[in-house]
Amino acid sequence: MSLIPSTPEDRKAIRIALDQISEAMSEIQTQRVQINETLKALEDKFKVAPKTFRKVAALYHKQTVVQFENETSEIKELYESITSV
């Protein structure tokens, strides 16, 4: 199997797919800039590190706060069982 597309139709299909991927990547880059600007504004206003707000936003977006609480509780219990004398 050759990696080089053998027909003009194949080359056109690949080019169209690459254009779509490139457009999606540009949109992602724009959204990342917007997220970072929003995190910076929150930091400036509330004096909380962007990484903290990013974690909260991820929990909010994924709706996984209960899972996070359970995992955090398990980790805390394990830590305390290991470090308590």
pLDDT, one tens digit per residue, over 21-60 is: 999 999 999 999 999 999 999 999 999 999 999 999 999 9
What pLDDT shows up at residue 2? Answer: 74
What pLDDT shows up at residue 10? Answer: 94
Question: CA 11 → CA 21, 23, 27, 42, distances in Å?
Answer: 15, 18, 24, 46
High-pLDDT (> 70) share of the chain, %: 98
What pLDDT shows up at residue 1? Answer: 63
The model's pTM: 0.75
Q: What is the DSSP letter of 65?
A: H
What pLDDT shows up at residue 5? Answer: 87
Report the helix count and the strand count for the chain, using DSSP H and E: 3, 0
Q: What is the DSSP letter of 37?
A: H
Question: CA 43 → CA 16, 36, 47, 48, 52, distances in Å?
Answer: 41, 10, 5, 5, 9
